[in-house]
Amino acid sequence: MTPPAPEGLVLRDGPALPPLAHFKLAAFDMDSTLIGIECIDEIAALAGRGAEVAAITEAAMRGEITDFKDSLRRRLALLAGVPAGVLDRVLAERLHFNPGARELCAALKAAGLKLLLVSGGFTFFTRFVAAELGMDFVRSNELEIVDGALTGRLVMQDWGDICDGEQKRLMLLACCAAVGCRPEQAIAVGDGANDLPMMGAAGLSVAYHAKPRVREQARVAIDGGGLARLLDVLRP
């Protein structure tokens, strides 16, 4: 059985965790996982539409709105007409990495893992985060901008238009195939309900300061401290 976890970490009962060397891929959610904000909420707040958008975000994260695509479309529609310059302000003024994000990603890369950033957020922000953390694969949503303003819609990409929970799962599996590993050799880290499909497909699921439903289903829950706490329970 797994030994007791250090304070601030919760391990569900099960066989001993494999060593870090067992894993070949680590997949991360972005908003509220790698970074300390929900980007869509910050865009809305700067545009004066924060309360309406945040309420939908929170309900979706808790799993009360079960159709992520529907919840995202409803929130985006509230942002139609917002100047695209607001995105620059969110990036410059509000986006910050969660404690331990850089350290954990650096340690995983040093151990030979490939990193995947898979987000229901937006490419404007994932490009920055992926570059800062050395991500090998990225999938996220592309905001449609026309005449310098958000349209309230997303751009269709070759895989679809909305990266929801199922798309996160499929991307994790595709990246496993690309690096030549089994899903059991993947780690998935998230905090919200739409992370559960990829967390369920991975060999190790990690909840970071997560919503109750996610925390209850994850093998490892980081409830205190930063993301690098994961290294406390994965021996080399």
Catalytic residues: 29, 31
Residue among 35, 183, 43 at smallest CA distance from 119: 35
Q: Rounded to an integer, what distance in angstroms lies between the CA atom of residue 145 and that of residue 47?
A: 15
HEC string of 90-150 equals HHHHHCCECCCHHHHHHHHHHCCCEEEEEEEEEHHHHHHHHHHHCCCEEEEECEEEECCEE
- The sign of the torsion formed by the CA atoms of 150, 156, 159, 164 equals positive
Q: Which residue has the tokens 């929130």?
A: 75
Q: Rounded to an integer, what distance in angstroms lies between the CA atom of residue 105 and that of residue 25?
A: 11
Buried b (16+ CB within 10 A) or exposed e, 159-172: eebbbbbebbbbbb
Q: Rounded to an integer, what distance in angstroms lies between the CA atom of residue 159 and that of residue 53?
A: 26
